[in-house]
């Protein structure tokens, strides 16, 4: 097959500035190329990257993009300009995959390939504009249900196709050994209110008051607005909240290097991912990445986590009802007292289902089903 992947206007590929969706398709593109398909990946131009090059069998083409603005109007305008520029460069292909807002509306010809819209954010009614697509790729059950609820006529072209782990996240056969000297908690994600950090820091402070042993919380992620964070004022607010925890909270900033990220997961007992974005999260991959390293996730009870995480089986879940910070503090205490190895073993088993190879099987099978004239 000839497959073209088009990302949005704000993050380059390889994901040197982060970007969860860019990270996913950078890996899937390489796996599809390894299987013999011809893959072109179109993304934002960046001064550290060539305009055109080949990486691991994938041809990369980069067009002028933008820093991510705070204004939603500007964001949509810049995505439109990027999409127009990308459309002019689309070759003839069998499959065209994109997560752009505008590009699916701009592509009406079959020449660039059967249109597959990768829905990696909660839909807000725009799916009615994509009813001509061959496939709407919902990355989780909650996203599929939201698409169909908002736009019933697209039910027949909507299918759940999950995000995979990065190819270099090899899942070990058994849980790694962990020190019992202190409880190691980790947050990895954008420094943004929707990620629940306003809950996490007060909850961690409350947990420390009655903790059975010393504990540390390491916070990893970008605060800069152009990288998806909420900016310096919000970061300063969080530092003020963290002051109640003293040296038990460490701020590590953004980490985009995969090897370094795997080390951070492997050094932690628990990943805390307390997202409150019920209409923002689609299928967060961070908890699955943690699982692949034997790090047990603690998440909120948003439906997006239900596809792969069960409380007291392969992770821990706290409720956002009532007093969420108190609920999270109680769950941190529950985690500290938990029997860790069974949770780790179950987490590793879940992570294997999300390996690049297994997930790519699903995408490849679906792409072939959309192109019946090609050899199967």
For the chain, what percentages of helix, strand and coil (3-state, to nearest 5) are there? 40, 20, 40
Per the structure block, which two tokens stand in for 314? Answer: 């392969």
E strands, 89-209, where?
95-98, 114-119, 135-138, 158-160, 183-188
In this predicted model, what pLDDT tens digit does every residue of 260-275 receive, in sequence order? 999 999 999 999 999 9
* pLDDT over 90 (residue 312): yes
pLDDT value, residue 212: 86
Whether 158 shows a pLDDT value over 90: the answer reads yes
Taking the C-alpha atoms of 31, 33, 39 and 44 in order, what is their torsion angle to the nearest 10 degrees?
50
pLDDT, tens only, 67-98:
888 788 998 999 999 999 999 999 999 999 99
**What is residue 193's predicted lDDT score, i.e. its pLDDT?**
95
pLDDT of res. 179: 66
What pLDDT sits at residue 376?
58
Report the pLDDT value the prediction gives residue 375, as an integer from 0 to 100.
Answer: 65
pLDDT band at 164 (very low <50, low <70, confident <90, very high): very high
> Which pLDDT value is given to residue 327?
97
DSSP 296-336: EEEEE--GGGTTT--BTTTBEEE--SS-HHHHHHHHHHHHH
> Which of 11-25, 166-180, 233-247, 252-266 has the least mean pLDDT?
166-180
Per-residue confidence at 170, pLDDT binned at 50, 70, 90?
confident
pLDDT digits over 100-151, tens only? 999 999 999 999 999 999 999 899 999 999 999 999 999 999 999 999 999 9
pLDDT band for position 154 (cuts 50, 70, 90): very high
pLDDT, tens digit, 9 for 90 and up, residues 192-237: 999 999 999 999 999 999 998 899 999 999 999 888 899 999 999 9
CA separation for the pair 15, 21 (Å, rounded): 9
Question: Going from the N-terminus, what domains does the chain have, and what CATH number goes with each?
Answer: 2-164+355-370 (3.40.50.2000), 183-353 (3.40.50.2000)
CA distance 330 to 310: 17
CA-derived radius of gyration, the chain: 21
d(CA 107, CA 183): 51
What Å distances lie between residue 231 and 21, 201, 221, 234, 237, CA to CA?
21, 18, 12, 6, 10
Neighbours of 168 (CB within 10 A): 11
When mean pLDDT is compared across 154-163, 276-285, 306-315, the lowest value belongs to 276-285
Which among 64, 67, 68, 57 is positioned nearest to 30, based on CA atoms? 57
pLDDT-derived band at 180 (thresholds 50, 70, 90) equals low
| Residue 72 confidence (pLDDT) | 84
The residue whose two tokens read 């299928």 is 283
The pLDDT assigned to 374 comes to 75
Q: Which residue has the higher pLDDT, 373 or 338?
A: 338
Pairwise CA distance, residues 216 & 208, whole Å: 9
Query: For 232-252, what is the mean pLDDT?
Result: 95
Mean pLDDT in the chain? 94
Residue 358 has pLDDT above 70, yes or no: yes
Show the tokens assigned to 129: 């504009």
CA–CA dist 42, 64 (Å, integer): 11
Say what percent of the chain tops pLDDT 70: 98
Round to whole Å and give the CA distance between 347 and 349: 5
């Amino acid at each position: 097959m000839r497959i073209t992947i088009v990302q949005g206007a704000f993050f380059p590929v390889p994901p040197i500035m982060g970007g969860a969706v860019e990270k996913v398709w950078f890996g899937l593109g390489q796996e599809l190329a390894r299987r013999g398909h011809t893959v072109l990946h179109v993304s934002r131009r960046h001064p550290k990257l060539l305009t055109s090059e080949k990486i691991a069998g994938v041809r990369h083409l980069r067009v002028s993009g933008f820093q991510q603005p705070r204004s939603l109007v500007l964001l949509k305008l810049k995505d439109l300009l990027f999409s127009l520029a990308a459309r002019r460069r689309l070759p003839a292909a069998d499959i065209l995959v994109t997560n752009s807002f505008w590009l699916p509306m701009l592509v009406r010809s079959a020449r660039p390939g059967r249109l597959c819209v990768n829905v990696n954010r909660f839909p807000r009614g725009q799916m009615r504009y994509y009813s001509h697509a061959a496939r709407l790729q919902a990355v989780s059950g909650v996203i599929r249900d939201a698409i169909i609820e908002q736009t019933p006529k697209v039910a027949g072209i909507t299918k759940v196709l999950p995000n995979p782990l990065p190819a270099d996240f090899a899942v070990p056969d058994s849980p790694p050994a962990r020190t019992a000297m202190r409880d190691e908690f980790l947050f990895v994600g954008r420094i943004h209110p929707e990620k629940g950090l306003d809950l996490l820091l007060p909850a961690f402070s409350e947990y420390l008051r009655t903790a059975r042993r010393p504990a540390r919380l390491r916070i990893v992620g970008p605060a800069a607005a152009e990288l998806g964070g909420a900016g310096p004022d919000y970061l300063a607010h969080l530092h003020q909240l963290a002051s109640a925890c003293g040296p038990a909270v460490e701020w590590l900033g953004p980490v985009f290097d995969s090897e370094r990220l795997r080390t951070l997961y492997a050094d932690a007992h628990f990943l805390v991912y307390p997202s409150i974005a019920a209409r923002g999260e689609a299928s967060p991959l961070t908890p699955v990445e943690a699982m692949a390293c034997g790090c047990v996730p603690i998440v909120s009870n948003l439906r997006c986590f239900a596809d792969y995480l069960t409380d007291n089986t392969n992770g821990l879940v706290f409720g956002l009802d009532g007093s969420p910070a108190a609920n999270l503090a109680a769950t941190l205490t529950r985690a500290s007292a938990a029997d860790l190895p069974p949770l780790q073993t179950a987490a590793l088993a879940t992570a294997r289902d999300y390996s690049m190879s297994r997930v790519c099987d699903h995408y490849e099978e679906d792409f072939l089903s959309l192109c019946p004239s090609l050899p199967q």
